[in-house]
Structure 1
């Protein structure tokens, strides 16, 4: 099950500015450049196993359509210097939205994976129509502030907290987002926002963002723990999202028995209140976060057994290369959690089972909004599931 979109794109399609996006074979080249950075034609030939002239036939149309640029060769040592191909960030961009119980965050992400603009506001009204009015205003402002050409907008990705109920894009979010519950969000938001829309839950989109722009550039298999008002995540296997039969793989909170503490940031906010520092919502707590406050130690001591159980279950069942800590988790707190998590991994004959590394996310900014913005870009340029791997001349 892929991310839900209001109408499916074919493998390649025409954009508003008349340029088609990427064919199946072109996606392989663009995916490599996204993950590895600027590379020469010889690099691409070696990585794909294709002859140099086949690589040339693939990259020249991409250069002509403005999706790649080729830098002038730079001499470095002996031999003829090779020019490097790179993604052209100005050629396309996507909007990413994260809709939370207390706030909405937005980013503009360009084709090269750079955040060109961002904003976060308290959600003024959880009813969908007024919320979309607020979101439209935020999008218009961000596009104007970034000086972007709207005709190069690929679409809008939206991450919403909650789980799918197995019927299209119908999510079951927390009580505070009642108006967003059990309705066809893909078609509703596409109509309200006037653009093509992709929908997924916040944990999945954050994991996808990490796969494209973070640890996924070096690790093709990892689990992502998403900390927000709730607790969940996503799974990346061989560089692709593992969604499960109902789209809900990564609902890690369900591993915990009912009477165990849930390691979410709402519980941390309540713990701050118990220690004499109340905050009205997560938005306020994260804006003035003090990692050295005693409330943080109390929350961490309380939640550590739950985190150890979840991480151990993930390590034993999925066997990922890494477990990434992210979401709305402050970087200072992510580092402390990473240092303290302990996996159940008994020794046998002097060996422990190879286990996942526990790593803070490398994404700087709202992970779900950034991940949501990658959904339209993946669909248009990078999603290898949409086509076939290169197989020859």
Structure 2
């Protein structure tokens, strides 16, 4: 089965907490602070693996969390950092933030990687909080929270050639003859419901990758049928092979079909319409097909495209077609990689969401909230004078006291900080 879109939740590991510890040795029973730092949490990383072709691995498992950092220890021993969680994806995967639609990365090359959820930093142990006036701090810093988000993985097939055409014109049959692919083939519309990939080996050791794109219908550019899902896969192809049924077996007009498919490509993306195109007149083995082919050839040549008569059922003209496609690809040369534009400013805001501090006034109540403050409270020992002083200093350094004053706070007013109530004194 071919899975080309997957929505998953990723979370970086939380950082380990710093330790509160003191040296207690035989000849130094009252030594100084010796609490070590917590280890950093692991990150969630997406990495390209050329051996993968689908997003099947993400079909059933939707949640991924990296390892949490280890807490700090006594004797200034640091906690072990959490291991990164590496998720392997096929080349051609675009990574988007599900909530905003922001493109995080466009992964096309083998081993290319991107961090999608960064691990939290380890908290500092009490040994890091000593000063000239505070020789024995009895508090440490809590570990940082790992980033978390929902992301969408979207796979675009990386093929040299994309086969397009109305349903039931012979694309799957042609692919099965030219390659070792074994697509499902039957005489009804939309037999192919997922794109099929195959490698065409041409004499002399040359080869190219061809993708059978499921049949298009009118309105595909706007999502009619399965249009959007299928058109996505030919955006990166270097050339388009357009198959037309010239037999008129189903009462269709080959010239009309030729123009309709090209119109759908143009409406979906002007770049698609500009791609080099080879036209194939298929089903030449059926009586009366020559007349349809002649009509199509006349129109196709007006646009400067090459056209080849074949019969996918009998194999007639297939070798000539393979060489024609190979020559066209060599003429085109290597394509420029398609890279999605990433707004670095928005990406930065997305990553720094957990650093927000909320300061507001609601119905004569003053409220301070946000993960940085929650982390500070969890790291504070309110029964220890030095720890309380550190809490007050951090609150002032972060500008929270100044913001509360702007909101009109006065001495003895109550401030709710992350669910805990405090009396305000300047």
State whether TM-score is above 0.5: no
Q: Which has the larger radius of gyration?
A: 2
Q: What's the TM-score once normalised by structure 1's chain length?
A: 0.22
Q: What's the TM-score once normalised by structure 2's chain length?
A: 0.20
